[in-house]
Chains A and B, each alone.
Chain A
Amino acid sequence: MRKLLLPFLLLMPLSAAHAEPQTLTPVEPPVAAPDFRLEDMDGNRYALSDLQGEVVIVNFWATWCPPCREEMPSMQRAWEALEPQGVTMLAINVGEDPDTVFRFTADYPVEFPILFDRDSAVIGDWKVMGLPATYVVDPNGHITYRAIGGREWDDPALLAPVLELRD
């Protein structure tokens, strides 16, 4: 039986009754996260396998995707809360070039690494169906949670299970 995380649903005030619930779906059993080696806007290389031992949030997105844009500010706020606690966040842009993303970040400034999957090979390996899609990788390199569609990532209830994955 899947255990769904709807921690605040029953505690929400009536005024927030129409807000969408913030959920992370456990991946049961956890599956090995496909490795990738991608560059950021400055040409720095990132490999998921180099991050063994860390909790990593992997987000797939594109600048033209409305829910991807909508969740970016909350991802930045989440990053500000998570980075000091040893959680890594990688946002993998699908199919676009650095110039396009550079212009985008003028309106949506973020400090976490943005990587480029220009030929969509990585998103194919991860078997993503739609954007945005976000996965939480545990310190052993296994995908333990996923979220399809945008979220408010700075919601403490959403981040609590992520923080619990740390060793």
Chain B
Amino acid sequence: MRWPAVLAVAFSAAAHAGEVVRITEPETGLPSWQWSDGRAAFTFNQRLPDQTRAFFQARGFGAEEAERIAQACVFQAIIRNTATTDHVMRLDLAEWRVRPAGGEFRPLIIEPQWQKRWAARDVAQPARIAFRWSLFPTRQSFEPGDWNMGMITVGLEPGATFDLAVAWHEGEQPQERLFPGMVCAPDLAMEEL
């Protein structure tokens, strides 16, 4: 696994031109982490567990299954190939890693893993189709100007702090970026109980 080496690079001074910035989305009041170097742009918007519960229950998931997703620390990812040359951007979420505060790097929960759970629980096909297309594609290839938006599931509890290590290829060149100090949305519904 290459992430220990990646970390050394990512924590060193500017492996890429841009720096990760944390902003508050004016429409939602929720934090968002963003980074761009002019060729690739990443945005990760925090999603409240209640948003996730409501979204998936409206698409055919039972309360129990929706709760499992809601408790998995969901972000909305927006990724763009902003290059003005013909660089193809390829990414595979199976290569991404998350490091919880004080912990070790580990993989995200990616869509095929969820689908195994839904198959085991006999989740209805329409719900599974909606889930498939709601999550950010596990593998994606972007030509310049292409982009996509979808959910990623970090696999940590609500309120957890973590670093997200993102990997992609720009043409044949591997690229990495660390998003330090990201935070899973708190579960406000549980806190009110």
Q: Could you list which residues of chain A lie within 8 angstroms of chain B, going by C-beta atoms?
A: 1-4, 6, 9, 20-23, 25, 62, 64-67, 94-97, 118-120, 129-131, 146-150
B2 interface hit (Cβ, 8 Å): no
Q: Is the CB of A129 within 8 A of B139?
A: yes
9 nearest CB pairs, A to B: A23-B145, A95-B129, A149-B147, A148-B146, A25-B143, A129-B137, A130-B148, A130-B137, A2-B86
Q: Closest approach, in angstroms, between the C-beta of A119 and any C-beta of chain B?
A: 7
The verdict on B11 contacting chain A, using a C-beta distance below 8 Å, is no
Whether B126 and A95, one on each chain, are in contact in the complex, defined by CB atoms closer than 8 angstroms, is yes
Name the A residues within 8 Å of B137 (CB-CB).
Answer: 129-130
Q: Which A residue's beta carbon lies closest to that of B82?
A: A20
Residues of B within 8 A of A22 (CB): 145
What are the residues of chain B within 8 A of A95 when measuring CB–CB? 126, 129-130, 133
Q: Min CB distance, B34 to chain A, in Å?
A: 13
Is A148 a contact of B143 with CB atoms below 8 Å?
Answer: yes
Binding site for A on B (CB under 8 A): 55, 59, 80, 82, 84-86, 125-126, 129-130, 132-134, 136-137, 139-150
| 8 A-B pairs (CB sep. < 8 Å) | A3-B86, A21-B145, A22-B145, A23-B144, A67-B149, A94-B133, A130-B150, A149-B80
Question: Is A147 within 8 A of B133, CB to CB?
Answer: no
Give the distance to chain B from A3, nearest Cβ to Cβ, in Å: 8
Contact of A129 among B82, B85, B141, B149 (CB under 8 A): B141
Contact with A4, one of B129, B139, B143, B147 (Cβ below 8 angstroms) = B143
What residues of chain A lie closer than 8 Å to B85, measured between beta carbons? Answer: 4
Q: Report chain A residues within 8 Å CB of B139.
A: 129
Q: Are B130 and A148 in contact (CB under 8 A)?
A: no
Which of A62, A97, A119, A149 interacts with B133 by CB under 8 Å? A62
Please give, as numbers and ranges, the residues of chain A lying within 8 Å of B142 by CB-CB distance.
Answer: 148-149
Also in contact, A25 and B133, with CB within 8 A (given A1-B86, A95-B126): no
Report the minimum CB–CB distance from A153 to chain B (whole Å). Answer: 13
Q: Which of A20, A23, A120 contacts B143 (CB 8 A)?
A: A23
Cβ-defined contact, A20 with B133, below 8 A: no
B59→A64 contact, CB < 8 A: yes
Q: What residue of chain A has the Cβ atom nearest to residue B149's Cβ?
A: A67
With CB as the reference atom, state the residue of chain A lying closest to B150.
Answer: A130
What's the least CB distance linking B30 to chain A, in Å? 15
Taking the nearest CB of chain A, how far is it from the CB of B76, in angstroms? 9
Query: Which residues on B sit within 8 Å (CB–CB) of A130?
Result: 133, 136-137, 140, 148, 150
A135 → chain B closest CB, angstroms: 13
**Residues of chain B with a CB closer than 8 A to A62's CB:** 130, 133
Q: Which B residue sits closest to A151, measured CB to CB?
A: B145
Contact (A120, B132) CB under 8 Å given A1-B86, A64-B55: yes
- Give Cα A95 to B84, complex, Å: 34
Bound CA span A9–B84, Å: 9
CB distance from B93 to the nearest CB of A (A): 12
